[in-house]
Every structure is written in structure tokens, then in C-alpha cells.
Amino acid sequence: MILLDAQHASRRSQVQRLHIDWPLLTGLLLLVGSGLLVLYSASGGNLDMVLRQLTRLGIAFALLLVFAQMPPEVLRRWAPLLFGLGLVLLLAVLTMGDVGKGAQRWLDLGVVRFQPSEMMKIAVPLMVAWYLAETPLPPPLRRILVGVAIFAIPALLIARQPDLGTALLIISAGTFVLLFAGLPWRLLSFTALLAIPAMLTLWHFGMHDYQRRRVLTFINPENDPLGAGYHIIQSTIAIGSGGLYGKGWLNGTQSHLEFLPERHTDFIFAVLGEEFGLLGILLLLALYLFIILRCLYITSRAQDTFTRLLAGGLTMTFLVYVFVNIGMVTGLLPVVGVPLPLVSYGGTSMVTLMASFGMLMSIHTHRKLLKT
Amino acid sequence: MFRGAPLRNPQWENHLFRRRVIVAALFSGALLAFVIIRLVYLQVVNHEHYTTLSRNNRVDIQPLAPTRGLIYDRNGVIVAENQPTFSLEVIPERIDDMEATLTAIRELIAVSDNDMERFRQILRRKRRFEEIPLRLRLSDEEVARVAVNRYRLPGVEIKSRLARDYPLGPLLAHTLGYVGRIDERELQQLDISNYAATAHIGKTGVEKSYESELHGRVGYQQVETNARGRVLRVLERTPPVPGRNLHLNIDVRLQQATQEAFGEEHGALVAIDPRDGAVLALVSLPSFDPNLFVNGIDSASYNALANSREQPLFNRALNGQYPPGSTIKPLYALLGLETGEIRHDTQIWDPGFYMLKGDERRYRDWKKEGHGWVDFNKSIVESCDVFYYDLALTLGIDRMSEFMRAFGFGLPTGIDLTGEAAGLMPSREWKRRAHRQPWFPGETLITGIGQGFTLATPLQLASSTATLANFGQHLSPSVVATIEEPGSGPRSPLMVRELPPVRVVDNTNWQRTHRAMINVVHSPTGTARGINRNLPYTIAGKTGTAQVFGIKQDEEYVVEDVAKHLRDHALFIAFAPAEKPRIAIAVIVQNGGGGGAVAAPIARKVMDTYLLDSDGKLREEFK
């Protein structure tokens, strides 16, 4: 073990003290910038909307910086508390939350309205990683079961709000942490088999009518051309008619004639597809892939079990986020109301995402100055 | 094979973890590849197909308006229905030269400047592919003229719509209210998708308060349209669900009888069934034709209605607040008995005026020479003022205020119509808050004869009369009786809403009060004796006169000298048959003069209509 050269350290300290991972930050900035471009078109040239989004981005990047300064050890210490608080808030939402757009998701704290389910997107991978890091990997079956319970309980609470999209994201976050911890593949395939009867039960007893309708609509969009089916029909037309090169910025007919619903939020990807074509989409996907691979690199360089599991879980949640949104807009997946991360208009998801990127940067930059 | 590694094995953990990270990277790549394949399929393979869909064949979703529920009176007479009308609609997207098209249309049919102005306003707001009505209520001839010339008017269409129609016009205007075009403010509070095809919404009256029942649920059709936007075929159709029908408690015959009995006079009448609070009649005169409002009233007609001195748009029955005058004397008399401050045989001497100790002012009786010795019965029958000055002073404003609030004075009745006024029952606390002054004894005196600050709506007077008739059972008045599922489906009656009842110590006090009120009509000295001729049932009533014009201490009130709009309001409250009350009425004739002479005959006429059959005998069901 040798201490790093003190002089060397001081020369780099100015930059290092910020605890920023420059490649990741560059990727995020490029993504966010192209997102604003698309948003300007999707909002029908509404500069106010773009400015509001820009303000949110500013806040979110500030949060990223704050989290990047926090050593992983701090996160680890706070994990159980954060998770416990999240659970309490979720219960509070179910009993006395505000009903917005027909679902109970918001908690009114007087000054701000707050979605505890959003906070759980970070708290769940933190908690599962904290729990699994206590013992050597791979975890024994008992530990795996407790780990499943850690994400299943909040997921159930969130599904009851009802917010299927977020519940799925939380389940996948937890599952990915388990997978990074070395969950045996056999166990995973066994669970997948079990999932079939479980899903049937869910269908019959656990779903709201509108959720069932969404699943049915996914299987056959023509079924319900007014609600979600209309979304899918119109978004596939928008993307398909975009072709290789697209119709050009601000020239999407589907979106500007207002055929396309939710075009600046959940369905913004369709606007991109229509106006910039396959080439534009490939560029965006390349950016996403770059960010994900960079995060996986960070994951692989992480030094202890907790940070490894946390980094892996956060990264894969981001991937699922991207995939679920694009899958939904292109008609591969049912419409579950997940925004396109860092591009869709709206503040809540952006804040949590930036916070998790901040954690990833912190993991990467707070390396112990040791060498084995 | 992974089971149980008792000690940490960093080497093995690193190895396992690195493999998992590689799997994760491969998985990410695979998912994105999957998405890209789908995108290539959409954007390259099927590009032509989707371009056609997007450019030439647009899948359009058209909302279908539900049919608004019908409204019937208690005997099944239809009072609000839907009539087909034709309107001329323009779709801007399909028109190359808007001005030329508008000129061409104006050559064919008459389009007023008002219509043009409204059209241009909507044109700016609506999306280009949405149709905008230019002219409503086309005649058959106009429809034919446009139809013949349609080939040279692309983007111009004749639409058949159902328009709300009130066959009885002004007769129920203040009760039913009317529907009108949805305005900007309402648009922000609506469930937009459910009103996607609806142009009208209830603005006042029953149409407003039962909007959610009457409206129904929107339907949709998915249609394929060509490049010019014409519908090629309907792909899918979800029919709209019509609104529910309403059956009112209102009896159109009573409305009619009221209107006839009022003649040229203005005022209001409310009739309530004391047993369940059913509103049998609710009239405010003068009235207006609600049909004018359905398709947008032009500003000249609207200004004429709104600025008229006769205020036809003002709902006097619900919002008119009048001093109740002597009509509330029976309630104070009842309170006097209840508190033991007077007995039914307590007598006082009325010299024609009343004076407070240490005060020069004379509180006058309406009868200048006085009523002489007056007891409980005579005080109501002859409406002696001095008796109530004395009683009020003994009772004090606190007890009076509390008791009157129990009868609903100063509080909304809770009727199922929006916007009723609450009236005013003064109290010490109110005076301090509203006027920043203490309560003066003189104010208690005039409160005792229903003057001063006290204000009540005709609805409140009818409701309190029903409560009095029904021995204190206090119910919220209801205009709608039952709600019927569309297509004459099952009917569900609305609940009777009970308010806290008025409790008395001695039930014979109710009878004594009723008895005295019967004498108002049936005894030879009663103030409403004029209506007892050939009366096959008993009426219990009380007349009242509300001062509009303050007269000075030494002046005489001479009817002929006072301009019509400054004359007293005539009031009458009554219920019948007195032994088994089935109808309670409050009438107010604005600037009518005396209650007994002007208001009471109107009540009698309405009661006759309700209670008697065609031979002039009491109907079986009311015996």
C-alpha cells in the first residue's frame, strides 16, 4: 500500500474536490440539450415551457452536485433511515394523499407537493444493497427472500395508489441489485415460471379496471381507440411516418396537428421519431448507451460490495426506464406512464435521476486512496 | 453451487461481480438492439404505410354527444326536452379562401353580424380541423339552399344537433333554469373528455344543480378520413350513454294557477308539501323565456332583459329578501307560550301605540285607534302590533333569534337549487359584527313585528310555514323527486333531507297556534277573512305587510299618495287542510299593498287547484 504523491494530489485537487465524473457529465449534458431541442418542438414552440424545464434541470444538476459530494459511507449509514421514512410517507399517501389525475400519489406538505414513490426509486436499491452487503456474496436463500421483501412491500404500496409504472421500476431496481449480488440464474428462471400464475391472480384480484384495459389495449390497440389505444396508434403513425431522416425539426404533422397526445411528456419520443427519423433516434440511443456503459464501468471499478450493488442497481434502473418508455411509445410494451428519462417535460423523475447519477459520481470519485 | 461461503472470499466475489457486470452490459445492448429492430420495422420497412396513414388517411376520433336527460313535472308533463335543429358548420382546415366562402354563404342564407363576430372569435381559439358553427337553427328552406350549393362549398356542412327546448317557456324558467353554451370559465372546471362533444351546459336552476345527472357519458367513433377530412368510414363506435331523466315535485298546474292569479303583479310564490319537503310550485314573476338563452341570446335582447326595471331574470323566490312582516307573529306567539312569558289567556291593553320607558318615541300599531284588550288568539287573528312589541321586549332578542333560526330564518334552506339567499335573522352578535354597534331595545320591538333587520326569502317563509304545519319537523325543500335511468329505466327517489326539528315543551302550543291561524281565515274578524267564501276545507294562514317606505312619526300612509314602487309588499303564509296539512304556501306580492286583500286570494287559488277536483270537492287523497 502506498500513499499517492501529495504534490500530485494537490495539483488535481481543484477538479477532484468537485467529485465529478467528466465523461458521464458530458453525456448527461448532451442528452439534456437534445431533449430541450425536442421539447421546444413538442410544446409547439413554447419558450416558456422550455425555460421552466431549464429551471428544473438547473435544480436537478445542483442536486447531482450535492450527492456527488456525499461519500458512499454516508449514503450507507442513511440507507435504512431513508427507506423507513419512505415507507411511512407511502402509507401516509395511501391514507391521506391528494388525488391527482385519479390516483393518490401526492403528499401535500403545505409548501410543496411531493411524491414519496419517487423517493423510493432511490431508497429501494440503497436499502437492498445495504442489506446484502452485510454478508459475503453470493447471498444465501434467506437473505435473498428478505431482499425481495424489501422491494416488494413498497412496490405493492405504490401499485395500490395506483401507479403501475413506478411499481415496476422499483421491482426491477430491487431485482437488479439482487442479480448483481449473484442471485443464481436457476432461481431467477424458477421465479419467472412462478410469475405466470402470480400474474393471473393479479389480473383477477389486484388490478383496477383501467389497468386491465391498458393491458388489453396493449395486446390489441384497436380495442380501445379512445384511451391508451389511441396513444399507441397515433405514436406509431408518428414514428413510422418519420422514416429514416424524419420530417425535420418543428415539422412533425402528427404532433403539431395535435393528433399525438401527451406529446411533451410521456410520448415525446414519438415527436423525436417523427421529426428526426431513425437517424435522430439512433443518436439519442447512442447517448443513452454511452451513459449506461459509463455507469457500468463505474460499477465495475467500485471498491466494496455496497457501492457495487448500489451502482449496478441504479444503472440498470435507468436502463429499464429508457426501455419501458421507448417500448411503450413504439408499441412494444403496454402504456404504463413512464417518462423518457431526462427528456420528457416534468420535474419529479428528473430530480431522482440526477440524484442517482450524483451517487454514481460519488462512488467513482470517493475512491479510497489505497492500492492493493 | 453458490451455497454457503462462510468467509469473505474477495477473489471469488470480484470474479462473480465482474461476470455480472458483463452480463448487464450485454443485456443493455440487447434491449437497445430490440428497440432498434422495432424502430427499423416502423420507420424503414413500414415507412410507406405509416406515411400514407399520416398524410392521406388520418385516423380520427370523433366524440359523440350524449342526449341530455328529459325533465317532467309531478304529473308526467314534459317541461324540458330536446328538439332536432340544423346548424351550418365550417371546418377551417378544408377551406382555402375563408373570406370567399363566408361571402358565398351570406349570399345563400342570412348570417347576422353577431353570428359573424362570434364565429371569428371561435375561429381564433379552435384547432383548424374542428368544426365551428356559423349559423344555428336553420329553417328547412335554408337547409335546402345550402345543400344544393354544397358542391362549391367544401368544408361547409349542415349538422343536425339536438337543442334543448322548454315547451312551457316562461312558466318554469326560474325553477328549471336553462342551458347555454359552455363558457371559458366552465371549460376549466369540466371533465374535458366527457364534454368533448357537448356544446351546452346547465347555467341556472335544476339544469345546473343536476348537470351531472342530466348530461350522460360521451361516446366516440373512430373514423378514417381522407386528405380533405371527409369521413370515409366508421371503424369503431362506442355509443354515448344518455343522461338520466328527472321527475320534479313541481306541479305545472300550480305554476299556471299562480301566474294567472298574479295577473300583472310582480312577486313570488312557493308551495311545499309539509310531509316531505316537496316543492310543489316555485314562481317568480315577471319571468322570461329560457329558450332565448339556449343558443346564445343576442346582446340587445339580453341587455333589455338584464336592465329591465322589472328584473325578470331575478329569481325572487330564491334570492328575493323581504321583511317578513306580520307573517312571523305566530312563531313569536308560539315562543311566548313555550317560554311561559305569556299564557293563551294573557291580555294586554292596546291603545294604538307602544312606548319604551324613558323614550319619547311612539311605536305605532297599524290600527290607529288600537285593538283594545288583546289575547293570544286575537293578536294573531287581528295582527295586533302592540301585543308583539310588548312580547318582544319580554322575550329579548337572544331567545327570539335562536328560536327563529331553528325555523330556518337566516340560514339557507338547503334546497336542491344553487344560489339561494340566506336571508337575515339579526342577533346581538351579528349587529356587533356587521354594524359595530350594540343592540338597542327599540330594535327588538320592530323585530317582533317582522320589520327592522329581519329579511327572509319566499322560500324560507314557505319552508318555515311547512315546519310550523308539521309540528316542528324541519325538512329541506326538494325540487326533484326522482331520477330515472335513461330509456324509462328504474327510478330512484331522492332522499328526504331532514334538518334538526323544532322541539316544544307542550304540544298543545302547536294546536293553539294553528287554531289562531285558522281564525285568521275563518273568523269574521280575521285579516284574511276575504278568502273563506265557499271554502270546502280549512286554511290556517297569516297575513303580513312589509314596509318599503319609511313614514315619519306624524305622517299618514295613504295608498294613493305613494308611488307604486314604494308601496308596501303584501304577504301571506298558509297551510291547508289545516287538520292534515298537505300544502304550505308563502306568497309575496311586490308593492301589492295589504296581505289579506292581495296575497291571500292568490294562495287560495293555488290551494284550490291542488286540493280540489273538477267538481270543486276536496280530492280523496287529501281527506
What pLDDT, in 10s, does the model give residues A221-250? Answer: 555 555 556 777 778 888 888 888 888 787
Q: Are B399 and B425 in contact (CB under 8 A)?
A: no
Please give the pLDDT value at position A98.
Answer: 54
Residue B211 to chain A, least CA–CA distance (Å): 21
DSSP string spanning B236-267?
EEEPPBPPPEEEES--HHHHHHHHHHHTT--E
The CA distance from B114 to B98, in Å, is 18
Which range has the worst mean pLDDT, A236-240, B162-166, B193-197, B245-249? B193-197
Kindly report, residue by residue over B473-482, the tens digit of the pLDDT: 999 999 999 9
Find the angle CA(B412)-CA(B416)-CA(B419) to the nearest 5 degrees: 55
Kindly report, residue by residue over A27-50, the tens digit of the pLDDT: 999 999 999 999 988 887 788 889
Residues of B whose CB is below 8 A from A289: 28-29, 32
Interval B289-303 mean pLDDT: 82
SS3 B426: coil
User: For A217-245, b where at least 16 C-beta lie within 10 A, e where not — what string?
Assistant: bbeebeebbbbbbbbbbbbbbbbbbbbee
Q: Are A342 and A348 in contact (CB under 8 A)?
A: no
The count of C-alpha atoms lying within 13 angstroms of the C-alpha of A218, restricted to the half-sphere facing its C-beta, is 16
Per-residue confidence at A181, pLDDT binned at 50, 70, 90? confident
Cell numbers standing for residue B257: 294557477
- Beta carbons of A238 and B21 less than 8 Å apart: no
Which residues are within 8 A (CB) of A281 and not within 5 positions of it... i.e. 6 or more apart?
A: A269, A272, A273, B39, B43
Please write down the long-range contacts of B207-210, taking CB distance under 8 Å and 24 or more positions apart. Answer: B207/B80, B207/B164, B207/B176, B207/B177, B207/B178, B207/B179, B208/B177, B208/B417, B208/B418, B209/B416, B209/B417, B209/B418, B210/B246, B210/B416, B210/B480, B210/B483
Which residues are within 8 A (CB) of B35 and not within 5 positions of it... i.e. 6 or more apart?
A: A285, A323, A326, A327, A330, A332
Candidates A289, A150, A73; CA nearest to B31 is: A289
State the CB neighbour count (10 A cutoff) for residue A300: 18
Return the percentage of chain B with pLDDT > 70, whole number.
92
Higher pLDDT pick, A309 / A234: A309
State the CB neighbour count (10 A cutoff) for residue A10: 10
Of A242, A259, A300, Cβ closest to residue B18: A300
DSSP lists the bridge partners of residue B72 as B78, B247
How many residues does this entry show for chain A?
Answer: 372
Whether A102 shows a pLDDT value over 50: the answer reads no
Per-residue confidence at B587, pLDDT binned at 50, 70, 90? very high
Higher pLDDT pick, A136 / B548: A136
| CB-defined contacts A:B, below 8 A | 138
Tell whether B26 is within 8 A of chain A (Cβ).
no
Tell whether B227 is within 8 A of chain A (Cβ).
no
Scanning B278-317 for CB atoms below 8 A from A yields none
Please give the pLDDT value at position A1.
Answer: 39
State the CB neighbour count (10 A cutoff) for residue B206: 26
Residues of A whose CB is below 8 A from B47: 240-241, 243-244
State the CB neighbour count (10 A cutoff) for residue B289: 18
Residue B181 to chain A, least CA–CA distance (Å): 24
The CA distance from B611 to B254, in Å, is 11
Q: Are B219 and B239 in contact (CB under 8 A)?
A: yes
Kindly report, residue by residue over B79-116, the tens digit of the pLDDT: 999 988 888 888 887 788 888 888 888 888 888 887 88
The CA distance from A306 to A181, in Å, is 10
The CA distance from A310 to A315, in Å, is 9
The CA distance from B269 to B572, in Å, is 10
Candidates A319, A236, A314, A318; CA nearest to B33 is: A319
Find the angle CA(B200)-CA(B204)-CA(B208) to the nearest 5 degrees: 65
Please give the pLDDT value at position A223.
Answer: 55
What's the whole-number average pLDDT of chain A? 81
Tell whether B14 is within 8 A of chain A (Cβ).
no
What beta strand segments (E) does B329-387 contain? 348-350, 353-355, 362-364, 372-374
Of B21, B35, B59, Cβ closest to residue A299: B21
Q: Could you give the dihedral angle defined by the CA atoms of residues B476, B481, B486 and B492, in that order, rounded to the nearest 10 degrees? A: 80
For helices B10-40 and A164-180, the axis angle rounded to 10 degrees is 140
CA distances in angstroms from B550 to B383, B387, B547, B568, listed in the order given: 20, 21, 7, 10
Which CATH number describes the domain made up of B61-248? 3.90.1310.10
Which range has the worst mean pLDDT, A26-35, B76-85, B225-234, B375-384? B225-234
Q: Are A126 and A75 in contact (CB under 8 A)?
A: yes
Query: Is B326 one of the annotated active-site residues of the chain?
Result: yes
**Phi, psi for B457 (deg, rounded to 5):** -85, 155
Candidates A368, A372, A370; CA nearest to A72 is: A368
Residues of B whose CB is below 8 A from A330: 35, 38-39, 42
- Beta carbons of B35 and A136 less than 8 Å apart: no
For helices A305-329 and A72-96, the axis angle rounded to 10 degrees is 50
Please give the pLDDT value at position B522.
Answer: 93
Higher pLDDT pick, B361 / B280: B280
- Beta carbons of A240 and B59 less than 8 Å apart: no
* Nearest residue in A to B36, CA atom: A282
Interval B256-280 mean pLDDT: 94
Which range has the worst mean pLDDT, A176-180, A193-197, B232-236? B232-236
State the CB neighbour count (10 A cutoff) for residue B185: 7
The CA distance from B455 to B515, in Å, is 26
Residue B380 to chain A, least CA–CA distance (Å): 56
The count of C-alpha atoms lying within 13 angstroms of the C-alpha of B224, restricted to the half-sphere facing its C-beta, is 7
Q: Looking at chain A, list the stretches that DSSP marks H as alpha helix, in order from N- to C-terminal side.
A: 6-16, 22-42, 47-69, 72-96, 116-132, 141-159, 164-180, 185-201, 209-219, 228-242, 253-256, 268-301, 305-329, 348-365
Residues of B whose CB is below 8 A from A296: 21, 24-25, 28
Q: Which amino acid is at B465?
A: T
State pTM to two decimals.
0.60
Of A137, A239, A289, Cβ closest to residue B43: A239
- Beta carbons of B25 and A296 less than 8 Å apart: yes
DSSP lists the bridge partners of residue B236 as B222
- Catalytic residue, from B209, B284, B287, B326: name it: B326
The CA distance from B426 to B323, in Å, is 12
- Beta carbons of B61 and A225 less than 8 Å apart: yes
The CA distance from B284 to B286, in Å, is 6
Of A136, A273, A332, Cβ closest to residue B9: A136
Residues of A whose CB is below 8 A from B3: 140
Of A293, A315, A330, Cβ closest to residue B35: A330
The CA distance from B59 to B72, in Å, is 41
Tell whether B220 is within 8 A of chain A (Cβ).
yes
SS3 A174: helix
Kindly report, residue by residue over A331-367, the tens digit of the pLDDT: 888 777 788 999 988 777 888 899 999 999 999 988 7
Tell whether B489 is within 8 A of chain A (Cβ).
no
Whether B347 shows a pLDDT value over 80: the answer reads yes
Interval A136-153 mean pLDDT: 86
Interval B65-86 mean pLDDT: 91
Which range has the worst mean pLDDT, A191-205, B267-281, B436-450? A191-205
- Beta carbons of A138 and B9 less than 8 Å apart: no
Residues of B whose CB is below 8 A from A242: 43
Please give the pLDDT value at position A219.
Answer: 60
Of A179, A278, A292, Cβ closest to residue B20: A179
Please give the pLDDT value at position A4.
Answer: 46
Return the percentage of chain B with pLDDT > 90, whole number.
46
Task: State the DSSP H helix or E strand holding residue B528, giving kind and residue range, or none if neither.
Answer: none
DSSP string spanning B260-287?
HHHTT--EEEEEEETTTTEEEEEEEES-
Instruction: Report which DSSP code applies to B595.
Output: I
Kindly report, residue by residue over B271-294, the tens digit of the pLDDT: 999 999 999 999 998 999 998 888
Interval B246-261 mean pLDDT: 94
Interval B608-623 mean pLDDT: 88
The CA distance from B591 to A305, in Å, is 92
- Beta carbons of A241 and B3 less than 8 Å apart: no
ipTM of the modeled complex: 0.85
Residue A88 to chain B, least CA–CA distance (Å): 33
Please give the pLDDT value at position B380.
Answer: 93
Task: State the DSSP H helix or E strand holding residue A258, giving kind and residue range, or none if neither.
Answer: none
Candidates A360, A363, A332, A358; CA nearest to A61 is: A358
DSSP string spanning B61-129?
EEEEPPPPPPEE-TTS-EEEEEEEEEEEEE-GGG-S-HHHHHHHHHHHS---HHHHHHHHHHHHHS-TT
Q: Are A343 and A268 in contact (CB under 8 A)?
A: yes
Which residues are within 8 A (CB) of B601 and not within 5 positions of it... i.e. 6 or more apart?
A: B261, B530, B531
The CA distance from B259 to B265, in Å, is 9
Scanning B34-63 for CB atoms below 8 A from A yields 34-36, 38-40, 42-44, 46-47, 49-51, 53-55, 58-59, 61
How many residues does this entry show for chain B?
Answer: 623
Residues of A whose CB is below 8 A from B234: none
Instruction: Report which DSSP code applies to B382.
Output: T
Interval A270-294 mean pLDDT: 92
Scanning B129-158 for CB atoms below 8 A from A yields 129
Tell whether B28 is within 8 A of chain A (Cβ).
yes
Q: Could you please state the CATH topology (level 3) that the domain comprising B252-294+321-482+490-622 is classified under.
A: Beta-lactamase (3.40.710)
Higher pLDDT pick, A164 / A120: A120
